[in-house]
Structure 1
């Protein structure tokens, strides 16, 4: 399979370089999505139990390949085989801890120990880094080459995802892994998790810190260990959360200084004239004005809880709102169903619906719902608590629960059928992010974990 044919990279692999047209506001789009949710018997606790069952299945897919394991990120139909993204596994840890159950805690500890194993058994580096993704089970790649190992290779090293080129290290992925480990340290009292989180923070400080005019922390390194020139608003928002937790857990005020540095970059990306945050910078000097992503609007609220920036949620809820129905061009939604939420970015609303997202992939639907981002928004609205926020959050969560019940049937993990109605698909229909990759209607641990965080009112960026 050539590079252009491979499924899209993690959304953290690339950063883009205005403003997209507005979609219908959520208040206008709500009634259609509610129809799917109303037909679902899986609302509330039952929907959450089914979501946790999917996370467990993704974690337990390869029982013959050792007890040290990560969760496969997407169902097999996504074409990424047994790839386990570091970011998705960090979210899965946080979602399991949010369950407040013994099983959830046990699974979170197991996944946390897998992150520590990857940190200590990298095939090349011993400096605290984690890679973008790992393999967690056997498969035959598109070119016919076998990948026979589980997460731990026969030589004892962590099985880095070289087949797809997932070998770099992004500051955002590292930050989320650090947040998961720090949360484990606080919840379990086990020192090893804090040690791992501190190693992550120290790697970011060494590799990511920049003295460029816009400041902050840069994107990370590629697979050749070359520093990437970008600086991401999303990543620096993640660091506000990580460095703040490290400051509280260690008592070391240096982490507060680092937190302030990341926060200063984030606030420099704020445009008060329109009420949103820009995506970042490619050169440390010039702010990228397009596309405008969803997560820089919602995660900033979760990390900062700043009244001065609270309008970012209104911008995302209004300007990125979508309603997906079977009548939309390139929709994957079955007849009679509809789903509301938000899309990935302003560019998603302008996608060329006549051209596939990538070679060998479907054409995009401008109205495809990005369910992970929809969960971000629901949680951020619950965190803001302005008049009407809880009602909007509940409607978004109902849309996600309806999608879990009705979308993504017949999919597998490790060749085993996924239970019907368990696990949230990445998107209601193929959508173009505007950042060089797409999301598709395959069940996904990351989307499922964010749904659970929203449903349980768990803000991972403010522990």
Structure 2
């Protein structure tokens, strides 16, 4: 195992769920910016403001599709193409994607945005409270049909550390924006689970391991992505609670990330099973961009430069980063979002032009990509992008890719609590 998994990948879940296939509504909220254009449809390629409004409309419809009578809502992560056929529809909701949607809604912050963000946040608290183990964890994915029926149906039972940190960051963001202590309590439960179950101060480089499998088996490798997530999440807990222990723990995770940086600037994926030996291949995009976003350390500017030199793909009219160096034949639009955000926040010479290229390509995909709907963002420019970690990505509409685009377009770093929005 490489230590690269941050969530139970949809393609892996497909294999597990195909035998008992899942099933398949929407109430789009139109922004004022888009409502004014009633003569001709807005073109997201030439009108960035309309593009953003359309992307939020996509998320609105996904959130509103699966809600129960108590106000819990959970959006399916993927739709169309590979994930939707005449005989089978893959509807699970991955908590990593849900966290991104919550944070993207707080980035715009309209009343309906915050209502929907809270509906997802309340659902994350619901599944946390009703987990069969009940120790503060959440799982990789859930079935929205179950949520609509008022029950918890786990589809991805693994408890991966990165997923936990993303749930924690979503709850921390809601606590910061709304002042509702329930979200902070939930975030603290997540943080304690990570600390109690994954902290490794015995095997250098010290940091946090991958989490647990369904049967309770601990994953002994350490992931750069996971530790970046934790560095961001625990820093937020330190800010929200005023307790320096969380800041100290964040520093441990950040030091692990620093230990993964190679001499040429790129950041390696993590360690092997022994928790110490550095795993040098594949080299994932997330390790480059999230290291920069989560820590704010300028040392990772070289990782961003390495990305621009080694991970960029051109697929017909689309340009963007791939998932890793293993396959650079297709653009990964989720990654294009966080690369654009990282470059925009760095703002070095040439970064503005690179951001414009990345966001323009995502907007083109919003309008023209296979399996698109003119609003949401598909995961990849074409089917079959090889991640390098044993799985494939597809050109299907994706809440996570759409949320990352919105975070890049609004300049909102999910690893940081926004200033002046408490």
> Under TM normalisation by the shorter chain, which class is it?
0.7 to 0.9
Runs (4+) of structure 1 exceeding 2 A deviation are 39-43, 62-67, 76-80
- The reply on whether 1:443 has 2:379 as its aligned counterpart is no
Considering Cα pairs closer than 8 Å and 6+ residues apart, tell me whether 1 or 2 has the greater RCO. 1
Q: Determine which of 178, 183, 198 is the counterpart of 2:188.
A: 198
The CA distance in 2 between the partners of 1:432 and 1:50, in whole Å, is: 29
Contact 1:241 1:462 in 2 (8 A): yes
Could you tell me whether the CA contact under 8 Å between 1:425 and 1:442 is conserved in 2? yes
1:264-343 mapped onto 2 (5 Å cutoff): 264-272=255-263, 274-282=264-272, 283-325=274-316, 338-343=317-322
Residue number in structure 2 paired with 1:429:
382
Q: Is the 8 A contact 2:100 2:170 kept in 1?
A: yes
- Does residue 1:121 correspond to 2:130, yes or no? yes
Alignment of 1:176-195 (within 5 A): 176-195=166-185
Q: Which runs of 5 or more structure 2 residues have no equivalent in the other structure? A: 1-8, 14-42, 84-88, 418-422
Tell me the CA shift for residue 266 of structure 1.
Answer: 0.5
State the shift of 1:112 in Å: 0.5
In the alignment, does 2:154 pair up with 1:160? Answer: yes
Match of 1:8 in 2: 11
Q: Structure 2 vs 1, CA of residues 71 and 195 (structure 1 numbering), >3 Å: closer, same or farther? A: same
Distance apart, 1:308 and its partner CA = 2.3
Structure 1 residues 205 and 43: alpha-carbon distance in aligned structure 2, compared to 1, 3 A threshold = same
Report the 3-state secondary structure (helix = DSSP H, G, I; strand = E; otherwise coil) of the residue aligned with 1:322: strand
- Describe the SS at the equivalent of 2:220: coil
CA distance in 2, matches of 1:232, 1:221: 13
User: 1:64 offset after TM fit, Å?
Assistant: 7.0
Indicate conservation of the 8 Å contact 1:65/1:151, yes or no. Answer: no
Asked whether the equivalents of residues 243 and 259 of structure 1 are also in contact (C-alpha less than 8 Å), the reply is: yes
- 2:41 paired with 1:44: no
CA contact (8 A) 2:227 2:254 kept: yes
SS at match of 1:125: coil
Distance 1:317 1:107 in 2: 35
Q: Of 100, 105, 121, which residue of structure 1 is paired with 2:114?
A: 105
Cα distance per residue 1:317-368 (max 9 Å; x no partner):
120011101xxxxxxxxxxxx100010001124xxxxxxxxxxxxxxxxx11
Normalised by the length of structure 1, the TM-score is 0.78
- Distance in 1, matches of 2:229 and 2:68, equals 35
Alignment-derived partner of residue 232 in structure 1: 223
> CA distance change for structure 1 residues 40 and 179 in 2, over 3 Å: closer, same or farther?
closer
Supply the RMSD in Å over aligned alpha carbons: 2.0
2: CA distance between counterparts of 1:116 and 1:7? 23
Contact 1:66 1:152 in 2 (8 A): no
CA distance in 1, matches of 2:413, 2:113: 17
* Structure 2 partner of 1:384: 346
Of the structure 1 ranges 87-96 and 58-67, higher mean CA displacement relative to structure 2 is found in: 58-67
Aligned mates of 1:219, 1:348 — CA distance in 2 = 25
Q: Using structure 2 for the length normalisation, give the TM-score.
A: 0.85
Cα separation, 1, equivalents of 2:186 and 2:67: 26
SS at match of 2:217: coil
Alpha-carbon separation, structure 1, partners of 2:114 and 2:337: 22
| CA shift for structure 1 position 229 | 1.8
Check the 8 A contact 2:57/2:375 in 1, yes or no. yes
Moved more, 442-451 or 383-392: 383-392
- Per the TM alignment, residue 77 of structure 1 is displaced from its structure 2 partner at its CA by 3.8
Distance 1:186 1:40 in 2: 32
Q: Is the partner of 1:347 in helix, strand or coil?
A: coil
Q: SS at the partner of 1:228? A: strand
Q: SS at 2:291's partner residue?
A: helix
Give me the whole-angstrom Cα distance separating, in 1, the residues matched to 2:290 and 2:148: 33
8 Å CA contact retained: 2:81, 2:395: no
- Alignment-derived partner of residue 404 in structure 1: 366
Match of 1:68 among 66, 72, 75: 72
Shift of 1:93: 0.1
Tell me the alpha carbon deviations over residues 139-161 of structure 1, each in whole angstroms, 9 at most, x when there is no partner.
xxxxxxxxxxx2165xx641111
Aligned position for 1:461: 415
Query: Is 1:207–1:220's contact at 8 Å kept on the other side of the alignment?
Result: yes
Higher helix share: 2
